[in-house]
Structure 1
Amino acid sequence: MSAALPEQPAVLSLGPPRLLAGLDRAARLDRSAHLSVHGSLPGHTEEQLAALAEAVALRGRGGAGFPFAQKLRAVGRTAQRRGARPAVVVNGCEGDPACRKDAVLLGRAPHLVLDGALLAAAALGAGSVVVGVTRATAEASVREALAERGLTDRHGRPGRGLSVRARVVRLPERLVSGESSALLRAADGGPPLPPGRHGRASREGLGGAPTLLSNAETYAQLALAARLGAEGYAAAGTAGEPGTVLLTVSGAVPEPQVVEAPSGVPLASVLAACGAAPAPQAVLTGGYHGAWLDAATAAAAPVSYEGLAARGGALGAGAVLPLPADTCPLGETVRVAHWLAAESAGQCGPCRLGLPTLAGALADVTAGGGQGALEAVREAAGAVRGRGACGHPDGAARFVLSALAAFTDDLAAHVLGAGCGRPTAGVLPLPASGGPDAVTGAPRRVERLAVDWTLCKGHGLCADLLPQLVRTGPDGYPALADAGVPDHLRDRAQRAVRRCPALALRLDKER
């Protein structure tokens, strides 16, 4: 099985670096090094900043790709109408195991991200800036950067007498932590989970104030645009999507890398620069809420929002994963689908129950379940889309359905025959451990559910208690997900083990 990606992968620039400038000479750019590389930051009014973002077609880089200028203007209008002081929030919570670009920015170039956030805060007259993170290295780096700017004291407390108060919020390392609503809820002292209702941060965000919330890379790009101007920023990239993009490239490459590339560069060129084989079986674009592209389509695709979308792919959060020819693509997809099901916040039925059903149906397809299993996949995907409290069910359904479209030959082999004949190598990265042991501090080995089939009587209690990892199979007996037990489900898994009437369920630690 593949290991989790390192928190700080190697970096690579295709062309002159912008976001990654200076990182070839320093492990981390402190305030002084940052200014020597990037220079001082000019101020902008709200309208000047919105016009600049519009001129460079700046979109959110966290996955949705929403135009930044629209967000900025919406927050400004709401703040003026209500007479309220707005807030600025940086979403650096990368929950996707295939993404590390924001971790690199916050860990190694935090001042570039803060430049953009503080620039927006000054333009809007915001009273607070919050940076959300999930990893200890990012938290330490941002805290140090805030202290270097005099925005916090050495204990991390916001400075007194300042026009803007800045702080860092640490969330659990989970996929749903990257949901903007979960970050806002956690920043306000609530649970780090999406709420049950949909709302717009620009109207009612942090503490009820109109809030400009965007991804870490987005703010870093804004800081670059402010320094370069619209014309200088557009010297790289395409006319429709100027500038550069950050990509996390992993999967079938010698080592994971965070790559800065001009928008519009051929995807094949990015893969070649990262050492991928010339003809991967397929390429996953956009991460685990993204979409698969078959080899021929990927070879002709440019790296841009429009270019990938036109071919059925997604830029999303910037993850790119080529798949080698010697692994079962449907098996790889099943592994991730089970992980996505276990990452549910457990707050809404379509997610808590629907995603395990979707993953299980796809597992049935790979096991030779036939046409009925294939129809069950499509039915389960349709049942969860548009019905969740956040975008997680939609993203998971998109990921699974794209596999059906990209791997038609393999799908036919599994549905109509004995399968593709290839093992599942586990190329796609997933979290490698459940975190440090509470006593020793050493990495805890992954735990998996297992069943003693000589004892199991098919009572089904485990499936009721833990639907994210256990479902009732067609024969009435439990079918276990091909996934480790994540931290947030560990207590529930132990409860299922304790309550098994036949004492057939257990937790095993991987060696």
Structure 2
Amino acid sequence: MSSRRGGGTAVAAPQVPTVLSIGPARLTAGLDRAERLDLRSHQQVHGPIGPLSLRAMLELAEDIRLTGRGGAGFPFHKKVKAVADAVERRMLAPFVVVNATEGEPAAWKDKVLLTRAPHLILDGAALVAWALKAIEIVLCVADDGVGERSLLNALAERDMPVPARVVRVPHRFISGEGGALVQGINGFPHIPPGIKRRAAEGGVEGQPTLLSNAETFAQLAIAARMGPRRYCEIGDAENKEPGTVLLSVTGSARHPAVVECPTGTPLEEVLDLCGVPAGPAVLTGGFHGRWLEMGVAARALVSRKGMQSVGGALGAGIILPLGPETCPVGEVARVVRYLAAESAGQCGPCRLGLPDLARAVDGLNSGAGDPAVVRAAAAAVKGRGACSHPDGTAGFATSALEVFADDLAHHARSGDCGRPVAKVLPVPDAREELSTRRLHVDWSRCDGHGLCADVAPDLIKLDGNGFPTFLDTPVPVRLENVAAQAVAVCPALALRMAAPKR
């Protein structure tokens, strides 16, 4: 496949999507000719780079309005300034942490950089380490093996200004959250801490830590070479978001790819480049993002403010179109089940609230649920978690209620919309799929002992009179053993689990 408007032929590396570009390639420069840029070819493509003082670093980051590319979009110069202030106040040398974990299944941009252009990431990390006089650079990658060897080879090909090490992180949705990442580096479980603490104040080993996404460091390396004026020559000038952005485009796209484009590019151009068929909607920003009807998505601009203006989200640059071949309600239910299972399970909103939300969405999929129940379950978790996972999951689910209203009506009338669930959205863990069996109660036997709810709280609740209640939906595969235990402890033999009659 040829990249459009970027020139050349796209070369796909093993395990990562094709790379395409709209407009001038910056982060992806040279990837149309080489599978991977080693140090020599990297320097030939991008040119030399030298150290920056702290003041120069701050001015550059502010001039180009660089924001974190991991999803939050926090201004990078403010993050660097916070670390520098903590260093001066505490008289401790800082750490620099590169987050290249990409725990979300649909995220590929950082893996493309790791696999094919690792020296851009290392250039950016080195610049920050120089400016802050850091004690160490910690490079965090997922334990799925994608990009790790390339990164290690890149480290062996060059000298870094300070010691650098690679840390493997479990490939889970929440493992790349900032607090979880610091916890893992410090030798604790890779889950968000119970209390929120800024890495700038106390991150790795309790010392000031600059933590940012891999693409952010790569963008800094590009800007340091180009200077702010040239860097800002392209991009969304109206919204003051210059430069380019990397997008991971999969879903129903006929040509899944990581696309580099200037900010402000119409999303419609990206969808067309990737061969996205006409369909009902596009998920913007990934599993913590927002759904847009296809017509609205076509009008969106690829920038944070551009997406927000139409109700979407840029997030970490994940774009997931849905084509006409799949049931959107079933796809949404799969993702919510996955997100509920991916939580740390250490606070109420995740441990109890997200399973409730998943059950409510499953109810919509079966036609037996009520959108009001989904909204109530989402409202119950918002703003109450130890991290942003409950809020993001709730936003994903409630966004779907509006965009797929017609499909929900079909499910309510007929039990489905007539289309299969083609598993277009990348949910990796098959354990989160539904079995063919459901729970049933023989009400002539049930005495309301309540033991079933004690054994299987993720499936069964007690009503105001102490009798079991649950949705008439298939039991998730991961909870089949728990459901079987609930059946076994029922003293009245009133509870059973069976496949529906045909």
- Cα 1:482–1:91 shift into 2, 3 Å: farther
Aligned to 2:195: 197
Contact preservation (8 Å) 2:109, 2:258: yes
Contact preservation (8 Å) 1:385, 1:393: yes
- Shift, 1:28, TM fit: 1.6
Counterparts of 1:45-56 in structure 2, within 5 Å, are: 45-56=53-64
- Cα 1:147–1:218 shift into 2, 3 Å: same
Counterparts of 1:32-431 in structure 2, within 5 Å, are: 32-134=40-142, 135-150=144-159, 164-239=162-237, 240-277=240-277, 279-369=278-368, 373-415=370-412, 420-431=417-428
Name the aligned partner's letter for residue 395 of structure 2.
R
- Cα 1:467–1:346 shift into 2, 3 Å: farther
- Cα 1:494–1:376 shift into 2, 3 Å: closer
Name the aligned partner's letter for residue 395 of structure 1.
G
- Shift, 1:150, TM fit: 4.0
Name the aligned partner's letter for residue 88 of structure 2.
Q
Of stretches 231-240 and 395-404 in structure 1, the one that deviates more from structure 2 is 231-240
- Cα 1:419–1:480 shift into 2, 3 Å: closer
* 1:379-434, Cα deviation, whole Å (9 max, x unpaired): 11111111111111111011111111222322344446765333322211111668
- Cα 1:449–1:329 shift into 2, 3 Å: closer
Cα distance in 2, alignment partners of residues 85 and 376 from structure 1: 50
SS at match of 2:314: coil
Q: 1:31 aligns with which of 25, 30, 39?
A: 39
* 1:268-302, Cα deviation, whole Å (9 max, x unpaired): 1000011112x321110000010000122111101
Cα distance in 2, alignment partners of residues 121 and 223 from structure 1: 13
Contact preservation (8 Å) 2:98, 2:138: yes
Cα distance in 2, alignment partners of residues 397 and 276 from structure 1: 27
- Shift, 1:83, TM fit: 0.9
Contact preservation (8 Å) 2:455, 2:485: no
Name the aligned partner's letter for residue 402 of structure 1.
S
- Shift, 1:322, TM fit: 1.1
Cα distance in 1, alignment partners of residues 456 and 88 from structure 2: 48
Cα distance in 2, alignment partners of residues 476 and 404 from structure 1: 24
Larger Rg: 2
Cα distance in 2, alignment partners of residues 168 and 424 from structure 1: 39
Q: How many residues align?
A: 470
Contact preservation (8 Å) 1:374, 1:415: no
Unaligned runs of at least 5 residues, structure 1: 1-5, 152-162, 435-445, 486-491, 507-511
- How many percent identity over aligned positions? 51
Cα distance in 1, alignment partners of residues 477 and 320 from structure 2: 21
SS at match of 1:246: strand
Unaligned runs of at least 5 residues, structure 2: 1-13, 498-502
Contact preservation (8 Å) 1:462, 1:497: no
Name the aligned partner's letter for residue 385 of structure 1.
K
Of stretches 36-45 and 454-463 in structure 1, the one that deviates more from structure 2 is 454-463
Cα distance in 1, alignment partners of residues 450 and 108 from structure 2: 39
Of stretches 116-125 and 140-149 in structure 1, the one that deviates more from structure 2 is 140-149
Name the aligned partner's letter for residue 156 of structure 2.
A
SS at match of 1:176: coil
Contact preservation (8 Å) 2:96, 2:128: yes
- Cα 1:90–1:295 shift into 2, 3 Å: same
Cα distance in 1, alignment partners of residues 182 and 413 from structure 2: 48
Cα distance in 2, alignment partners of residues 88 and 178 from structure 1: 15
- Cα 1:397–1:202 shift into 2, 3 Å: same
* 1:85-131, Cα deviation, whole Å (9 max, x unpaired): 11110111111111111111111111100110110010011111101
Cα distance in 2, alignment partners of residues 336 and 108 from structure 1: 29
- Cα 1:170–1:461 shift into 2, 3 Å: farther
Name the aligned partner's letter for residue 352 of structure 2.
L
Cα distance in 2, alignment partners of residues 411 and 477 from structure 1: 20
- Cα 1:276–1:464 shift into 2, 3 Å: farther
SS at match of 1:175: coil
TM-score normalised by structure 2 residue count? 0.86
- Cα 1:49–1:483 shift into 2, 3 Å: farther
Contact preservation (8 Å) 1:7, 1:100: no
- Shift, 1:255, TM fit: 3.2
- CA-based RMSD of the aligned residues comes to 2.9
Name the aligned partner's letter for residue 296 of structure 1.
G
Name the aligned partner's letter for residue 129 of structure 1.
I
- Cα 1:496–1:362 shift into 2, 3 Å: closer
Name the aligned partner's letter for residue 397 of structure 2.
V
Larger RCO, structure (CA 8 Å, separation 6 or more):
1
Name the aligned partner's letter for residue 382 of structure 2.
R
- Cα 1:454–1:390 shift into 2, 3 Å: closer
